[in-house]
Amino acid sequence: MSNEILQKVEQLTQNGRLDVPKATPRPAATRFTDISDIEGMRTAGKLAADVLVMLEEFVVPGVSTEQLDIIAHNYIVEQQGAIPAPLNYHGFPKSCCTSVNDVICHGIPNDKALKKGDVVNIDITIIKDGYYGDTSKMFFVGPVAPHAERLAKVTQECLYLAIDMVKPGVQLGDIGAAIAAHAHKNHYSVVEEYCGHGVGTTFHGEPQVAHYGKAGTGVALEEGMTLTIEPMINAGKKQVKHSGPDNWIAKTKDGRLSAQYEHTLLVTADGVEVLTRRPEETRFA
């Protein structure tokens, strides 16, 4: 089966990347009251989630993250009529982020083949009609070590418990404190140099969503806000080191594994809508 997948990957990537469609400029906003804006965010969120679902079959030993990037890029452009937001964003050279093993975030796709036992976070952001959908998840390359699987599981739990808290009036310090408490209870650390953020008709906006904090502090959520929560959890210590062009790539300083999950969320009148929900996430249906 893996040979068939590798052949399919070769076919899908042999012609390189397609040209990106023209952008639809909109005033920057991360809170919406108009139903047309909310529908725009729903569409963008679903498309971003669809990219992760599509990539699942291709994350196998022998495939490079460069090939995954080309597949994602062309799917976004050709099948979705959308734009891969990371491409050329502040100089980022690729269309998605692929963070392997000890890379925390902003890993740059390259020609190195993935090998059995690797764990990789793929972070997808698309722009459709001026609206952004931003999401990421962990992929396992074949069977992985139990400790790697456990780290990913706890990281996803951190995201899910945070999502369950989202509703008008909840303060971001409450959410950050809950994420950190769950990570620390499991003997992991929380990366503090990066955070979630407002997202809407702009890639990164207010509010900043830290994944640690003090309960009872911070911005209070309001209906209509659209934002990401994206905890980065390390197996070892929280310290980060940077490398690569423009220091984009963030790695764990101690070389141990890191994991991340991310969703784009809409704060509703009585709770939350997960705009980047994947089909298997029936808890948010």
Longest Cα–Cα distance of the chain, Å, equals 54
Q: What is the mean pLDDT of residues 270-279?
A: 99
Residues annotated in a binding site for substrate: 106, 204
Angle between helix 65-74 and helix 2-13 axes, rounded to 10 deg: 60
Q: Convert the pLDDT of each residue in 215-261 to its tens digit.
A: 999 999 999 999 999 999 999 999 999 998 899 999 999 999 999 99
Q: What is the mean pLDDT of residues 197-218?
A: 98
* pLDDT > 90? residue 36: yes
DSSP secondary-structure letter at 65? Answer: H
With a CB cutoff of 8 Å and minimum separation 6, the contacts of 283 are 160
The pLDDT value recorded for residue 285 is: 85
Angle between helix 35-55 and helix 65-74 axes, rounded to 10 deg: 140
* pLDDT > 90? residue 169: yes
* pLDDT > 80? residue 2: no
Q: What is the mean pLDDT of residues 140-149?
A: 98
Residues annotated in a binding site for a divalent metal cation: 123, 134, 197, 230, 262
Q: What is the mean pLDDT of residues 65-89?
A: 99
Cα(261)–Cα(153) distance, rounded to whole angstroms?
Answer: 10
Q: Convert the pLDDT of each residue in 47-58 to its tens digit.
A: 999 999 999 999
Cα(74)–Cα(211) distance, rounded to whole angstroms?
Answer: 33
Report the mean per-residue pLDDT for the chain.
98
The pLDDT value recorded for residue 1 is: 57
Q: What is the mean pLDDT of residues 156-176?
A: 99
Buried b (16+ CB within 10 A) or exposed e, 176-186: bbbbbebbeeb
Q: In percent, how much of the chain has pLDDT > 90?
A: 98
Q: What is the mean pLDDT of residues 50-76?
A: 99
* pLDDT > 90? residue 201: yes
CATH code, 30-284: 3.90.230.10
Query: Is this prediction's pTM over 0.85?
Result: yes
* pLDDT > 60? residue 163: yes
Q: Convert the pLDDT of each residue in 11-26 to its tens digit.
A: 999 999 999 999 999 9
The pLDDT value recorded for residue 245 is: 87
Cα(240)–Cα(219) distance, rounded to whole angstroms?
Answer: 26
Q: Residue ranges of the domains in the chain?
A: 30-284
Residues annotated in a binding site: 106, 123, 134, 197, 204, 230, 262
Cα(136)–Cα(199) distance, rounded to whole angstroms?
Answer: 14
